[in-house]
Homo-oligomer: A and B are copies of this chain.
Amino acid sequence: MPRTEEQFKEMRNKTSRSILNSALKLFAEKGFHGTSISDIAKEAEISKGLIYNYFNSKNSILESIFDELLRIGEEIEKDTFADDDPYEQLQRMIKRSFKYVEEDPTYWKLIVNLMLQPEILKQTKIVFNNFNDRVMKEMVGIFRKIGIQNAPLEARILGGMIDGVFLHYLFDMEGYPLERVKKMMLKKYSRDNLEELKNQK
């Protein structure tokens, strides 16, 4: 689903950016069906009609956002799993994940929303499950290099832990001790602790 050059230029246009940002925020907050074109227009401070100069439909706004989400995800992935010693990779992956959520919880929120209601956008499930699988495989690779038994399950658990912590954070952004949990997780997956983990049968 790569966009044409044309479309990409549009994406950089101020108005269409504003539409996308507004839509992203509202879709994440109130859901796709709970957000009207009017809402988006109001949030972006433009007229309803103008939206249709940039997008064919409400659905296609979502598709554009989705594509963007994907690009971002891929960048992070590339960035994270650049070759390295596996201990370092793990630390970096955790740090990046937290950074990503802290900086833009909205993105993450929208993704979970879409995953939970896959009828909205057919591509969602396939594309994101593919993405997850890829990430899982890389994590498995890391755990294997480190020499941890049961690498696939450990990957599932780490993956779950990260996303679960984020979920709880989204549920209560003011009350959640995100920073301290991050530190704790980094320690849990530090070189020293992993060495011990290896020795557990």
Q: Which residues of A contact B (CB under 8 A)?
A: 2, 29-34, 47, 109, 112-113, 115-117, 119-120, 125, 128-129, 132, 150, 152-154, 156-157, 159-168, 170-172, 175-177, 180-181, 184-185, 188, 193, 196, 200
Task: Assess whether A185 is in contact with B157, with CB atoms less than 8 Å apart.
Answer: yes
Task: Assess whether B34 is in contact with A120, with CB atoms less than 8 Å apart.
Answer: yes
Task: Assess whether B153 is in contact with A180, with CB atoms less than 8 Å apart.
Answer: yes
- How far is A164 from B155 in the complex, measured between Cα atoms in Å? 12
Which residues from chain B contact A125 at a C-beta distance below 8 Å?
171-172
Task: Assess whether B150 is in contact with A159, with CB atoms less than 8 Å apart.
Answer: no
Task: Assess whether A181 is in contact with B157, with CB atoms less than 8 Å apart.
Answer: yes
Task: Assess whether B33 is in contact with A31, with CB atoms less than 8 Å apart.
Answer: yes
Task: Assess whether B177 is in contact with A153, with CB atoms less than 8 Å apart.
Answer: yes
Task: Assess whether A164 is in contact with B153, with CB atoms less than 8 Å apart.
Answer: no
Closest to A193 in B: B200
Which residues from chain B contact A115 at a C-beta distance below 8 Å?
170-171
